[in-house]
Amino acid sequence: MADDPFALFDAWFAEARERELNDPEAMALATSTPDGRPSARMVLLKGYGPRGFDFYTNLDSRKGNELEANPNAAICLHWKSLRKQVRAEGRIERVSDGEADAYFATRARDSRLGAWASEQSRPLDRRETFEERFAEVKARFDGQDVPRPPRWSGFRLVPHAIEFWADRQFRLHERRLFTRAGEGWTEGLLYP
């Protein structure tokens, strides 16, 4: 047994970065409306540590609106080639503007431009409309830095539970559950 789930996550994530064929940072994010209607989608893990798991989005997207209205969520990273997954559940908090600015600056220029052009999750009449908006934004920022849009930022899932699942023969899987206990963690096992 261990006492730090983030140390274990660090080891598993390092293995995934080395051996997972596609997008080891891809994770399912589950949110829900205030009245409990669930929604899930894939996002990219962009940071993690003792404070939680970070990802970024348009704050006016469906997930952004749901997280603002109901700051409880769950994530799941599944590494098929490793036959492992990590699930976490917890409360959502916004990352600081400095953190959001720093991450946004690392994105490819076209990704930064796309964040300005997209009204994420809003209805789109035709693909050409988005392509026209992208071209307009590209011209607007020609020869200049592309700053972070005001309604684009990040969230951090601050977990109260983290489960590590490892595949075992005959579906006799291993499940290790870390539960927050004050400033630390307790660990136990779950039946598969």
Among all chains, which residue has been given the structure tokens 């809003």?
122
For residue 106, the surrounding DSSP H or E stretch is helix 97-106
Q: 41, 62, 171, 180: which is the annotated catalytic residue? A: 171
3-state secondary structure of 56: strand
Residue 62 CB partners (closer than 8 Å, separation 6+): 39, 121
Pairing of strands 38-44, 26-32: antiparallel
Q: Is-catalytic flag, 112? A: no
Task: Please give the Cα distance from 59 to 100 (Å, whole number).
Answer: 12
Looking at the DSSP bridge assignments, the partners of residue 74 are 30, 89
Q: What angle in degrees, to the nearest 10, is found between the helix axes of 127-140 and 109-117?
A: 120
Only one residue has tokens 């870390």, namely 178
Rounded-to-5 percentages of helix, strand, coil across the chain: 30, 40, 30
Active site residue ranges: 171
